[in-house]
């Protein structure tokens, strides 16, 4: 490992990060005296494609996004009211030259400019947590599901609601065709 390309992670003495987002766990002993660390950590991808790692500090686990760690280590501390912005919008590109501190408003403007912002219209108004299916839609969902060709998740995606709502509808006999 080239230690010149690695910087310590503020607040986490046993970890370091590279400019391209690799996180190193330094060799040490755990609370039971066993050797641990001395390895590159394996990040976990969240549902939006962003990588994070679990770092321990005083026996508490902290799940931190890698892009934040890189920018804090190599770009300086986070200014007030800012967030880490991935300039190209690619959640897999954690190189320092792709990261900047920006306000939330600036990030949204950048996303709109590059066409990656999901407005309410693009998501579908039905995706609002308070959206309810009309009686006609409920009957339709009930009958489609009873046909056996569609899963709960497939119907949820098709109607823009949660699979929980679809489950409630298909298990309620009031929506059977009369």
CATH number where 22 lies: 3.90.75.20
> What residue numbers bound the domain in which 161 lies?
125-175
Helices (H), the chain: 66-75, 104-114, 120-123, 135-146, 152-159, 163-170
105 and 153 in a single domain? The answer is no
CB 165 within 8 A of CB 156: yes
DSSP character at residue 59: T
Q: What is the mean pLDDT of residues 125-141?
A: 72
CB 146 within 8 A of CB 174: no
| Residues forming beta bridges with residue 5, ordered by sequence position | none
Single residue among 72, 87, 114 that ends a domain in this structure: 114
Number of structural domains the chain divides into: 2
The reported pLDDT for the residue numbered 43 is 94
pTM of the model: 0.63
Which residues are within 8 A (CB) of 11 and not within 5 positions of it... i.e. 6 or more apart? Answer: 57
Note the pLDDT tens digit of each residue in 10-21: 999 999 999 989
Per the domain annotation, does 119 fall within a domain?
Answer: no
Note the pLDDT tens digit of each residue in 64-82: 999 999 999 999 999 999 9
Highest mean pLDDT range out of 43-52, 96-105, 120-129? 96-105
How far apart CA 52 and CA 21 sit, in angstroms, is 10
60 and 86 in a single domain? The answer is yes
The residue that leads in pLDDT, 22 or 112, is 22
43 and 102 in a single domain? The answer is yes
Q: What is the mean pLDDT of residues 44-69?
A: 91
19 and 103 in a single domain? The answer is yes
63 and 138 in a single domain? The answer is no
């Amino acid at each position: 490992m080239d230690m010149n390309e690695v910087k310590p992670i503020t607040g986490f003495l046993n970890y370091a990060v590279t400019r391209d987002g690799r996180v190193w766990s330094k060799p040490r002993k755990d609370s039971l005296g066993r050797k641990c660390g001395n390895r590159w950590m394996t990040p976990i991808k969240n549902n939006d494609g962003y990588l994070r790692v679990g770092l321990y500090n005083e026996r508490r686990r902290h799940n931190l996004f890698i892009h934040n760690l890189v920018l804090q280590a190599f770009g300086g501390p986070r200014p007030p009211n800012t967030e880490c912005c991935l300039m190209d919008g690619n959640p897999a590109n954690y190189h320092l030259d792709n990261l900047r501190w920006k306000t939330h408003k600036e990030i949204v403007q950048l996303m709109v400019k590059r066409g990656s912002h999901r407005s309410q219209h693009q998501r579908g108004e039905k995706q609002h947590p308070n959206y309810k299916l009309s009686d006609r839609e409920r009957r339709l969902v009930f009958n489609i599901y009873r046909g056996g060709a569609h899963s709960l998740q497939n119907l949820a995606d098709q109607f823009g609601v949660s699979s929980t709502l679809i489950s409630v509808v298909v298990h309620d006999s009031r929506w059977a065709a009369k």
